[in-house]
Structure 1
Amino acid sequence: MIPIFFFDGYEVAVLGLGKSGIAAAQALMKSGAEVWAWDDNEDARQKARALDIPLVDLHSCNLDDLTTLVLSPGIPHTFPEPHPVVTRFREAGLEVVCDIELLARAMRDSAYIGVTGTNGKSTTTALLGHILQLSGRDCEVGGNLGQPALSLNRLDENGIYLLEMSSYQLELVPSITFDFAVLLNIGEDHLDRHGGMEGYIAAKRRVFHRQTSPRAAIIGVDDPVCRRIYDELKAVGDQVIIPVSVNERVHGGVYVIDGWLYDDMDGKEVQAINLNDLPQLPGKHNWQNAAAAYATARSAGVPAPTIGACMRSFQGLPHRQEIAGLVDGVLYINDSKGTNAEAASKALGCYQTIYWIAGGRAKEGGITSLAPWFPRIRKAFLIGESAEAFAGTLGDLVPFEISGTLETAVAHAREQALADGETGAVVLLSPACASWDQFRSFEHRGDTFCDLVDELPGERETLDGYSGGMQ
């Protein structure tokens, strides 16, 4: 837990008592601060009471003795309209920050790596953390991924805090300057929270706030917004700029061509890693993640051969194209995090012979946008509330059955794949739907899928050298 020494003896308000809020309150209390905590949800307040966290209604309390509000990033502070408590604090001239700002103020001697982007930031953060820790760096991983920032361990001047940063968090960290800042990509997301696309772009761009050389910006350049940011930063020249691409060669950067990762950071275009040999990182979107992690690790001093060795032992993140098993030659993939069509398209684009398990509580737009991937699907097994609607979309384009439940879908997909006997068959759970109609969460759905795969009869095989069915 991080000591917040500068608030010893002072009153500090905490709004939002989820994981990060609870961790912030506990770290502040342990550091001698007088915590005034609040959450508008009674269940959250009850959990705080059970942990002996003092509760004060921040909607009506006297603010005279306060200087700071530690805000859960999920609570709006600008758009679509600020939370009433945030408005009170700002009108009183008090600062509003998130927990990561307190970490940056407390642990000033350590290095910081920030990873952001619309897609891929969790996988990139996890992969980079795996590389840094396995290569012997003293590295703590948290932020938007995994552990809340203030529950991480203390590090000295040789340590590295690797933080996944959401757009919400980036707006609430005025003091932090990342030694290595990664921007993977930018697409339309969370626009209501940022007042539109330009506000969202501005939030993401804050990952490069106040960077000067030798600090480094690692930027994916395959989308037009990030390409523009790259060009603008390159023109100013304040920091080291390392471009990353999976579509083209990029001078001075890291790029992927036909699955091979090339390192041109020293201008030598070295063929470094064959990503086709890493089934846990399939598809161009994961190649971008791998290239960004490689560029950052190299910048942080990890030798290229070591990075490649570490990547080979990376197991991936749960529920994000997680390999659940290889049974009788059929590969089972848990992509339960694929809760909308865009996310599911990333998985469908990775495999050639797919037995697709889809459905749940549908998102707006359904699966019509996935039509380009339909030729890869040998048969769809539809579950949950959206089964009938998805069946209507698939129509005569893709063979399907309405399986109803995940248990039935797994069993029938296995039977069909074995009966067809095609090399490289993949049973893919990528539902393109929320999970709440049949499960507590996408994690629960993914765990259930993995349990069902574990119970399947047949010969289990290792993945050594396996690349069947992958794009």
Structure 2
Amino acid sequence: MITSPAFAGKRYAVLGLARSGMATVESLLASGAHVTAWDSREEPRRGLEQRGVELADPLGIDLAGFDGVVVSPGVPLNKHPIAAHAASAGVPVIGDIELFALARPNLPAHRVVGITGTNGKSTTTALVHHILQSAAVPTRMGGNIGLPILSQKPLDAGGVYVLELSSYQLDLTFSLESDVAALLNVTPDHLDRYDGFMAYVASKARLFAMQRADQIAVFGTGDAETRAIAAREMVRREQWRVRSVDGKDLLQSQADWPSLQGPHNLQNAAVAVAIAEGLGLTPMQWRPALATFRGLPHRMERVAEADGVLYINDSKATNPASTAPALAAFPPTDHRRIHWIVGGLPKGDDLDECAPYFGNVAAAYTIGDAGPLFAELLQPHVPVTRSEMMCDAIQQAKAAARPGDIVLLSPACASFDQFRDFEARGDSFRQIVQALLSPDQDMATGRPC
């Protein structure tokens, strides 16, 4: 794990003991800090007192003399009283990314890549990490992608830490100077945590405000807010240190990158390439890596191909805005159309953002709570089967698909009507597809679920 003598003898309170919170406690203890920790659940608290951790809710104690309150990114600072309580004691509220930033001076010489955006940041983070690995550059990946950075083994000199950073994490970070920082896009999201859309935009912009003027910034070009942040950064840096990319120069090669199909992934690839070049890599290093990138689970994940039909798990698409690029990724040809499995717990009452790509769809199979509504919305445009259950939808799509077609799970909905989370939904899709394609399937019933 990452530790630092900068924390020795200091006092920290940790609120929230999920993955990043537990990694924070471990790092601070190993660094010689005095730790007070709390979680509303009993299980993660179990055994911490025996290791020297004081168990107490930071809201119920005097925080005077503490060096920081480290909160989970899931704690809503605009509503939770911890922010005001810490402020009254003059104690900063920070996150684990800020602790990493404070630990950096004691780590072997390294560089940091920080990647944010409303959509695409996990794929881009994983792609940059893959490019670096392929080029034999020592690297670690962490942050919002689900890998707490403090739990990672420190890199030897010359390594690169690649961090996916959500707006929640950026709100808790104050001194992270990214050698290369990137913003993919900004669209309305998480507005329950912010005083309007522009406050959310300002949160994303903080990644660049923390940089020095001699560091590199990379931007997508798909929305006005991202372009405006890029223009502001251009004012305080040399022009060559700010790159805005749209991927058009990569378009001809995209067909050779099976896990990076669609306009959204072209943008992700363009940002990843600009980051790699900002770190000094050449096309001879990054180009082969794009072809071998396998993508992330549940994000346009190619789970199987059989009889000329490709099965794709895009369960992470939990709203129409994130499903639209998946539909756009496969424009129709004489030999290719999409069999679209859609539905779940809806976040709205329309599919307007997907509508421009209905022509790419051979048939739709509606599931979950949104099934009846989506069936009515789609019937004027595409053939619809009211499947209700995932298993039935996959079987029906498989029966209808012909060579060259795609069976695509891209629900445009949350998962909580039928599944624990989007991962469980995507895992179910993968397992059913594999069972259907297995020669060992029980042919007496014909049903894998």
Report deviation, 1:240: 4.2
1:60–1:95 CA distance, 2 compared to 1 (3 A): same
Q: Deviations over 1:133-165 (max 9, x none)?
A: 221111111011121121111124412111111
Number of the residue aligned with 1:439: 419
- Paired with 2:270 and 2:228, the residues of 1 have a C-alpha distance of 19
Indicate the residue corresponding to 2:442 in structure 1: none
Please list, as runs of the form range in 1=range in 2, the aligned pairs for 1:58-207 lying within 5 A after superposition: 58-77=58-77, 79=78, 81=79, 83-108=80-105, 109-207=109-207
Does the C-alpha gap of structure 1 residues 137 and 159 become closer, same or farther in structure 2, counting only changes over 3 Å?
A: same
- The answer to whether residue 258 in structure 2 is matched with residue 256 in structure 1 is no
Instruction: Output the CA distance in 1 between the equivalents of 2:405 and 2:69.
Output: 53
Deviation at 1:88, TM superposition (A): 0.8
The equivalent of 2:308 in structure 1 is 329
- Name the aligned partner's letter for residue 95 of structure 1: P
Q: 1:7 to 1:454 in 2, by over 3 A?
A: same
**Structure 2 length normalisation: TM-score?**
0.91
Q: Is the 8 A contact 1:7 1:31 kept in 2?
A: yes
Partners of 1:166 and 1:116 lie apart in 2 by 6
What is the rounded CA distance, in whole Å, between the counterparts of 1:23 and 1:210 in structure 2?
A: 24
Aligned identity (percent) is 42
Shift of 1:214: 3.9
Q: Corresponding residue for 1:313?
A: 292
**Partner Cα separation in structure 2 for residue 242 and residue 458 of structure 1:** 50
Contact (CA 8 Å) 1:244, 1:291: kept in 2 or not?
no
Tell me if structure 2 keeps the 8 A contact 1:111–1:157: no
Match of 1:394 in 2: 378
Counterpart position of 2:223 = 223
Partners of 1:105 and 1:175 within 8 A in 2: yes
Encode CA deviations 1:396-423: one digit per residue, 9 max, x unaligned. 32211111211111111010113xxxx5
CA shift for structure 1 position 316: 0.3
Q: CA deviation at 1:218?
A: 0.8
SS where residue 200 of structure 1 aligns?
helix
Give the Cα separation in 1 of the matches to 2:165 and 2:307.
41
Alignment CA distance shift 1:50-1:389 (3 Å): farther
For the residues of structure 2 that align with 1:187 and 1:15, how far apart are their CA atoms? 29
**Amino acid aligned to 2:146:** G
Query: Do residues 415 (structure 1) and 394 (structure 2) align?
Result: no
Distance 1:216 1:120, change over 3 A: same
Paired AA for residue 432 in structure 1: A
Whether the 8 Å contact between 2:214 and 2:241 is mirrored in structure 1 is no
User: Alignment partner of 1:331: what SS?
Assistant: strand
Using the alignment, how far apart are the partners of 1:3 and 1:360 within structure 2? 43
Cα separation, partners in 2 of 1:451 and 1:9, compared to 1, 3 Å: same
1:222 Cα deviation after fit? 2.6
- 1:437 is displaced (CA, Å) by 1.5
Q: Which secondary structure state, in structure 1, belongs to the residue aligned with residue 437 of structure 2?
A: coil
Task: Count matched residues.
Answer: 428
Give the letter aligned to residue 412 of structure 1: Q
TM-score (norm 1): 0.87
Q: CA deviation at 1:455?
A: 2.0
Q: Deviations over 1:364-406 (max 9, x none)?
A: 2342442222222111111112211111212332211111211
Q: Following the alignment from structure 1 to structure 2, what is the Cα–Cα distance between the partners of residues 191 and 385?
A: 24
Counterpart position of 1:466: none
Q: Residue 142 of structure 1 contacts residue 162 of structure 1 at CA under 8 Å; is this kept in 2? A: yes
One of 409, 412, 419 as aligned partner of 1:429: 409
The match for 1:279 among 255, 258, 267 is 258
- Paired with 1:258 and 1:95, the residues of 2 have a C-alpha distance of 44
CA distance in 1, matches of 2:159, 2:355: 47
1:296 aligns with 2:275: yes
Q: Is the 8 A contact 2:134 2:285 kept in 1?
A: no
Unpaired segments of 5 or more residues in structure 2? Answer: 440-449
Cα deviation digits, residues 316-370 of structure 1 (max 9, x gap):
0110010011110011110000111111111111112111111111112342442
CA gap 1:54/1:200 in 2 versus in 1, 3 angstroms? same
- For 2:354 and 2:279, the matched residues in 1 are separated by 39
CA distance, structure 2, for counterparts of residue 210 and residue 258 of structure 1 = 30
Change (3 A) 1:371 1:64: closer
Distance 1:102 1:117 in 2: 22
Counterpart of 1:362 in structure 2 is 346
- The CA deviation at 1:131 is 0.6
Tell whether the 8 Å contact from 2:15 to 2:57 is kept in structure 1 after alignment.
no
RMSD: 1.9
User: Aligned partners of 1:76, 1:403: CA distance in 2, in Å?
Assistant: 38
Q: 2 CA distance for matches of 1:230 and 1:126? A: 23
The amino acid that maps onto 1:428 is L
238 and 89 in structure 1: CA distance in 2 versus 1, 3 angstrom threshold: farther
**Runs of 4+ with deviation above 6 angstroms:** none
Instruction: Give the equivalent residue in structure 2 for 1:465.
Output: none
Structure 1 unpaired stretches of 5+: 247-254, 261-273, 460-471
SS of the residue 1:362 aligns to:
coil
Letter in 2 for 1:10: K
- Partner Cα separation in structure 2 for residue 306 and residue 245 of structure 1: 19
1:73: how far off? Answer: 1.6
Distance 1:366 1:440 in 2: 24
2:21/2:71 contact within 8 Å kept: yes
Matching residue's letter, 1:391: A
Q: Distance in 2 between matches of 1:222 and 1:362?
A: 26
Distance 1:232 1:65, change over 3 A: closer
Counterpart of 1:161 in structure 2: which amino acid? Y
**Separation in structure 2 between the aligned mates of residue 211 and residue 407 of structure 1, nearest angstrom:** 49
CA contact (8 A) 1:383 1:402 kept: yes
Q: 1:76 to 1:455 in 2, by over 3 A?
A: same
Partner of 2:446: none
Letter matched to residue 343 of structure 2:
G
